[in-house]
A and B are shown apart, each in its own frame.
Chain A
Amino acid sequence: GDSVTQMEGPVTLSEEAFLTINCTYTATGYPSLFWYVQYPGEGLQLLLKATKADDKGSNKGFEATYRKETTSFHLEKGSVQVSDSAVYFCALSGGNMLTFGGGTRLMVKP
């Protein structure tokens, strides 16, 4: 079946550092890929998405490129802020269902 693997956290960075959170997947067919963000005490918010190979999703300075050859969808941001501290989930779609990774907690220190 489908699966999503994310790097385990927590990831601790200083403000303005470069962020990469790795995400790889296994899936049949051609899923869409998503990154969600969960701030403390809140639900999940869709951060960005990509629907086909080589698509780049971007939002709020975050980017991720759908790489079919490496089955990856790594999340990047050039300069993180304290307000980016949250848990990030990678997910893929298939048959009205989403398969989520385990989540990666990001902590950004001033």
Chain B
Amino acid sequence: SQTIHQWPATLVQPVGSPLSLECTVEGTSNPNLYWYRQAAGRGLQLLFYSVGIGQISSEVPQNLSASRPQDRQFILSSKKLLLSDSGFYLCAWSPDRDSNQPQHFGDGTRLSIL
């Protein structure tokens, strides 16, 4: 069966520091991968998605970037964090080439910027 892992679960970082959040998927190949952000008490905002290694689409211009160095690895990064980057970050995957399938989510990373 397929599983998705995100880490760390929580992170407290000072303003201006770098960020790296990692997401990996097991049990499937060539998945579509997604990064979302959820502000406190709010809905989901799609940040990035990827349909293959090295292929990244950005939905919202911002202080963050994403990379997909391996088929089942998706990384969210920032060179300098802002206070507004605080939130709950969720990674998700869906099967390739089947647009009516659900996405499956990781447990999330709660990021607090001080």
Contact = CB atoms under 8 A, between A and B. Distances in A.
A103 B43 CA distance: 6
A51 B98 CA distance: 12
A45 interface: yes
A89 B105 CA distance: 13
**For the side of the interface on A, what is the size category?**
20 to 34
B101 interface: yes
A98 interface: yes
A64 to B, nearest CB: 13
Nearest to B41: A105
B100 A89 contact: no
B51 A102 contact: no
Contacts of B44: 44, 89, 100, 103
B43 to A, nearest CB: 4
Question: Can you list the 5 inter-chain pairs with the closest CB atoms, starting with the nearest?
Answer: A43-B105, A32-B100, A102-B43, A44-B105, A43-B108
Interface of A: 31-32, 34, 36, 41-46, 49, 51, 89, 91, 93-98, 100-103
6 contacts: A43-B106, A43-B107, A44-B92, A89-B43, A89-B44, A98-B103
